[in-house]
Structure 1
Amino acid sequence: MTRTLQTDAQVCNLFSLSPCLGTALFFIPPSGVCCRRLRDQVPCLCMYTQGMGYGQLLESGARRVAQGCGVVLPPCYIK
C-alpha cells in the first residue's frame, strides 16, 4: 500500500521519490526524473521526516539528493 497525503494542492507520496534512492543510498548522481520529483515533493519533506517517522533515515540522503539537484531544502532540515 502506498501512503499518500494531501497538503494544499500537493499530493505527498514518499514512494514517488524512488528514482532518488541511488543518490540517497549509493552516491549515484541524481537523474532528471529524480530531481523533478524531488522539486514536486519539497512541500512534503518535513512531514516525511517528522510526521511520518522516517527521520534520520531520510535526512542525510535527502541532503545529498537536494544538493545534487540544486534544490533548497525546507527549514526543517536546517539544524
Structure 2
Amino acid sequence: MKKSERRVAIALVGVALWLSGLYTTIVGLLYDRPAEFRYGVLAIFFGVAIAVIALNLISIPGLSSKKKPISR
C-alpha cells in the first residue's frame, strides 16, 4: 500500500465517523436526547479533523516523497 492510498483510507474512516456523528446528532435532536446529541457533535468534530489531517499531510515539509528542485 502506498502512502497516498493509506492517507485516503484514513480520510475515509474520518468521513465515515463524520457521517455517523451527523446521524447521531440528528437523532439526538429529534428525540430530545442530550447525551446522544453531544456525542454526535463530538464525533463530527473528530471525523472532520481526521479527514483534514489525513488529506493535508502531503503539504507538510519533509513528508512529501517528491523532491523539489532548488531554484537559484
Same fold (TM over 0.5): no
Tell me which protein shows more helix as a share of its residues: 2
The TM-score normalised by the length of structure 1 is 0.30
The higher-RCO structure (CA 8 Å, 6+ apart) is: 2
The TM-score normalised by the length of structure 2 is 0.31
Tell me which protein shows more strand as a share of its residues: 1
